[in-house]
Structure 1
Amino acid sequence: MKQLGLTFAAAMIATTAIAQETSITLGMQLEPPNLDPTGGAAAAIDEVVYANIFEGLTRFGPDGAILPALARAWDISDDGTVYTFTLVEGATFHDGTAFDAEDVKFTLDRARAEDSTNAQKALFEGITAVEVISPSQVRVTLEAPNGALPFNLAWGDAVIVAEESAADNATSPVGTGPFRFADWVQGDRVELVRNDAYWGDPVALESATFKFISDPTAAFAAMLAGDLDAFPVFPAPENLVQFESDPRYTVIVGSTEGETILAMNNGVEPFDNPLVREAVAHAIYRQAIIDGAMFGYGTPITTHFAPHHPAYTDLSDLSNHDPERSRELLAEAGYPDGFTTTLKLPPPVYARRGGEIIAAQLREVGIETEITNVEWADWLETVFKGRDFGLTIVSHTEPMDIGIYAREDYYFDYAAPEFVAIMEELSATTDDSARTALLKDAQTMIAEQHVNAYLFQLAKTGVADARLRGLWENSPTQATDLTGVSWAE
């Protein structure tokens, strides 16, 4: 009987191990404020739902390529103003309702409506009409040619939602993706389960749990204890060397679209003065922030543009570390003794740790900062929406998002007419070389006017069980795409 008991126990352990091979538990530092990517600006929303619960007409691949999704193909008129999308057939939403062209029309009309709450409403402003041709075809008409429309429609803000369920997506998201929403225990986790009625290729995982662990020390402990299978954006870069030396883990280092900036409120004194903004830029020593806050992970940037993009322009001479020049500029601007301002820091490591280093660098030139640590929801409400700040640190993880500098209602309050004109010309330009020239002009303008102080491109540093396959190395968008994730056999 004793031997039988041991055999039974071994069998139970083996069965449990097999069960675990069909699920995954992932760590993430920030809890999303809601689960509707069409109605919230937080990157944490897309980290959970993009490509997992929700799908768009197009999507980003792991290499940044624009791939078909709910649109299996599209045709473009000769003048570039009409896109005709042919949709996949047989797709359904998680509540059983059918997906068709009416859902596309509802989604795009809702996103571009006057009362739209979409955080990236500007993506849809060039659309003048959305027409249903048939259940599987939809026509999108633009006011001017826009070769970037398939790119724009790949954003999480452009995922397709159904009129029947859209109002409740913040707490009970209903999409067409390979995973269904199962539960959200606020303050702890979000649970997903496989959608066995998925229209596309089936996924390997039966379930996935996203656990929220904001403290870097706790994240390290949770990985070591086996409570997590992966932490795709690991918040404690100082501990990566320990995982690198342990064969049980894989350290995944890649790039992101995250331009990390010291944002300045251009609409209030003293940051409405370009001399003050330039003084701030010259006070910053980027490498010290990368080394001190990110333990060397990150690439210095000199404008709001990803350095891995072929159109990136190095403008280091406009904002090199020069404290003496910074003091001279402050005196010229009327602040010979410096000034005091607020520095509001959201939870990510780059902000909290980086903020202390930046505060010390600014102090050297006479700028005192009153640091306030704010939770993500408060940052979105008071800084992003309310513009109640002097300085803040944030990483803009949306892909190719230099166009935000043309938005009149954006939180750092810039939108210079000459920059808006460049973006309008860029939108109407399809020639690659001409687009590159315009992108270089845009980068140069915001760097010369020191709209913000540009710090570094956020690295993607993840840790995973060595047996896991298919996690993204790079982050062309802020997502934890589980569609290709599996356990090694």
Structure 2
Amino acid sequence: MTLLSTMALGQEDARGRDDQLNIIYWQAPSILNPYLSGGVKERDASSMVLEPLANADENGELVPKLAVEIPTVENGGMTSDLKAITWKLKDGVTWSDGTLLTAEDVKFTADYCMNPEGGCAQLSKFNDVKEVEVIDDRTVTIHFDEPKPYPYLPFVGAASPILQAAQFAECTGARAPGCTEENFNPIGSGPFVVRDFRPNDSIQLVANDNYRDPSKPAFAKLNFKGGGDSVSAARAVMETGEFDYAWDLLMAPDVLEKIAEGGTGKPIFEFGPLVERIEINMTNPSPDLPPETRATVE
């Protein structure tokens, strides 16, 4: 990929100044609604469209996203008994369709995930949430059933973004998985808009013209390709230069070092909370066992 020269264009701070970004994940996203998937690939892909109230920066510190600030007891955003936290939205935040994002969208998202028939993959983030109360258009209070010393799970991080109530109104409860258009093409407040989504294959995104920062995103288009394996993904960046970024390159160190000799990219290692693991299936489906005893092996 050749980036357009911002100096030549005279648009150092213009939206879309750097043309197209190409990303490859060998584990391809299958949906763009993180509430219906626990996969990091879906979380990462949807995070370019959907936004939470806050997120963590590269140092692990919480930073506001859609919110004005991080609520604490000290700044009055959390009650002294640790049973309620109040978030205030930034003024004038809009969805990509130009409509205002309000506290009603925040409450709707909580109700969407906490619906017992919805099968929400992120339900654990709403543990002990009693109610999400709308105070005004820009203010919501989350009430907990018990004191929460760490109340920053609901609406914090890419796995718990805000959904547009107007778009998902008919997609609650048992209807949630069947809303293909909504789950594949969510309307968001983030820097990009979905132009085309092909599950388990590719996502084409374009800059959100209504994004609140006129200088972002820097890229006019984004190509998010999925599929293949980690070796081919690494080669697409570091040997052929077809893509600009690949993630989760699970391979032997000597293989990765050899690919890096291609010269068009370099591997970056960073610390994070994710752990690759093998989970043991403890069930025993043997037909020789009575149905009531097939659940687990003692």
TM-score range, shorter chain: 0.7 to 0.9
Asked if 1:64 is matched to 2:60, the reply is yes
Contact 1:26 1:210 in 2 (8 A): yes
Q: Aligned-pair distance for 1:208?
A: 1.1
Partner of 2:226: 212
Change in CA separation of 1:261 and 1:222 when aligned onto 2, cut-off 3 Å: closer
Partner of 2:25: 28
Q: What is the aligned counterpart of 2:249 among 212, 228, 234?
A: 234
Equivalent AA in structure 2 for residue 171 of structure 1: F
Q: Aligned-pair distance for 1:268?
A: 3.9
Change in CA separation of 1:221 and 1:78 when aligned onto 2, cut-off 3 Å: closer
1:302-341 to structure 2, matched below 5 A, reads: none
Change in CA separation of 1:215 and 1:267 when aligned onto 2, cut-off 3 Å: closer
Change in CA separation of 1:229 and 1:199 when aligned onto 2, cut-off 3 Å: same
Equivalent AA in structure 1 for residue 94 of structure 2: T
User: Comparing both chains, which one has the higher relative contact order based on Cα–Cα distances under 8 Å and sequence gaps of 6 or more?
Assistant: 2
What TM-score, normalized by structure 1, do the two folds share?
0.49
Specify the SS of the correspondent of 1:231. strand
Contact 2:114 2:126 in 1 (8 A): yes
Name the CA distance, whole Å, in 1 between partners of 2:56 and 2:115. Answer: 25
Change in CA separation of 1:56 and 1:209 when aligned onto 2, cut-off 3 Å: same
Name the CA distance, whole Å, in 2 between partners of 1:211 and 1:260. Answer: 22
Contact 2:17 2:220 in 1 (8 A): no
Q: Aligned-pair distance for 1:77?
A: 0.4
Equivalent AA in structure 2 for residue 225 of structure 1: T
1:149-188 to structure 2, matched below 5 A, reads: 149-166=151-168, 167=171, 168-188=181-201
5+ unaligned residues in a row in structure 2: which ranges?
Answer: 9-15, 72-76, 172-180, 287-293
Specify the SS of the correspondent of 1:250. coil
Partner of 1:484: none
Name the CA distance, whole Å, in 2 between partners of 1:255 and 1:14. Answer: 29
Asked if 1:55 is matched to 2:51, the reply is yes
Equivalent AA in structure 2 for residue 189 of structure 1: S
Identity of aligned residues (%): 22
Contact 1:128 1:143 in 2 (8 A): yes
1:248-263 to structure 2, matched below 5 A, reads: 248-263=264-279
Change in CA separation of 1:147 and 1:207 when aligned onto 2, cut-off 3 Å: farther
Contact 2:125 2:153 in 1 (8 A): no
Name the CA distance, whole Å, in 2 between partners of 1:105 and 1:157. Answer: 16
Equivalent AA in structure 1 for residue 27 of structure 2: L
Contact 1:39 1:117 in 2 (8 A): yes
Name the CA distance, whole Å, in 2 between partners of 1:148 and 1:216. Answer: 36
CA shift digits 1:47-104 (9 cap, x unpaired): 2122x11111111222322211112122000101011111111111122221011101
Asked if 1:39 is matched to 2:45, the reply is no
Equivalent AA in structure 2 for residue 92 of structure 1: T
Specify the SS of the correspondent of 1:132. strand
Specify the SS of the correspondent of 1:76. coil
Name the CA distance, whole Å, in 2 between partners of 1:260 and 1:15. Answer: 38
Contact 2:134 2:141 in 1 (8 A): yes
Q: Aligned-pair distance for 1:152?
A: 4.5
Change in CA separation of 1:269 and 1:413 when aligned onto 2, cut-off 3 Å: closer
Specify the SS of the correspondent of 1:26. strand
Name the CA distance, whole Å, in 2 between partners of 1:77 and 1:135. Answer: 21
Name the CA distance, whole Å, in 2 between partners of 1:68 and 1:190. Answer: 27
Contact 1:29 1:235 in 2 (8 A): no
Q: Aligned-pair distance for 1:243?
A: 4.6
Name the CA distance, whole Å, in 1 between partners of 2:67 and 2:4. Answer: 40
Name the CA distance, whole Å, in 1 between partners of 2:17 and 2:225. Answer: 16
Contact 2:68 2:88 in 1 (8 A): yes
Contact 1:219 1:235 in 2 (8 A): no
Q: What is the aligned counterpart of 2:133 among 131, 151, 159?
A: 131
Q: What is the aligned counterpart of 1:147 among 149, 155, 173?
A: 149
Partner of 2:114: 112
CA shift digits 1:201-228 (9 cap, x unpaired): 6221221111113234432442322211
Q: Aligned-pair distance for 1:148?
A: 2.2
Equivalent AA in structure 2 for residue 250 of structure 1: K
Q: Aligned-pair distance for 1:105?
A: 0.7
Name the CA distance, whole Å, in 2 between partners of 1:21 and 1:413. Answer: 55
Partner of 1:79: 81
Q: Aligned-pair distance for 1:259?
A: 2.2
Name the CA distance, whole Å, in 1 between partners of 2:249 and 2:267. Answer: 10
CA shift digits 1:335-378 (9 cap, x unpaired): xxxxxxxxxxxxxxxxxxxxxxxxxxxxxxxxxxxxxxxxxxxx
Contact 1:38 1:156 in 2 (8 A): no
Name the CA distance, whole Å, in 2 between partners of 1:35 and 1:186. Answer: 9
Contact 2:29 2:201 in 1 (8 A): no
For the pair shown, the structure with the greater C-alpha radius of gyration is 1
